[in-house]
Amino acid sequence: MRTQISLEQEQHALVKLKAAELGISMAEYIRRLVDRDLVDKSLGADVSQIFGMGSSGGSDIANEPSAVEAAISSHHQQ
């Protein structure tokens, strides 16, 4: 079955890069993500128990777009 989705420009670039690293198509990469998510959900794990356990140390990354970009960039340089 064929499905069309829209990605943000940055998402598209990162998906394309990750798929290339794995030697697979973008479509295959996305299918694997969907499969993994569906399998994880079927295991019945209740992740709500871990909410609020830690502290970000006062980080407000959601309101700081430059911090989000820096975090993404840092993650991909590892």
For the chain, what is the domain count? 1
> Whole domain around residue 34: which residue ranges?
1-44
User: Is 15 part of any domain?
Assistant: yes
**How do the pLDDT tens digits run along the chain, 78 residues long?**
899 999 999 999 999 999 999 999 999 999 999 999 888 766 666 666 667 666 666 666 667 767 767 767 776 665
User: Is 68 part of any domain?
Assistant: no
- d(C-alpha 78, C-alpha 45), whole Å: 29
- d(C-alpha 57, C-alpha 36), whole Å: 31
- d(C-alpha 19, C-alpha 26), whole Å: 5
User: Is 70 part of any domain?
Assistant: no
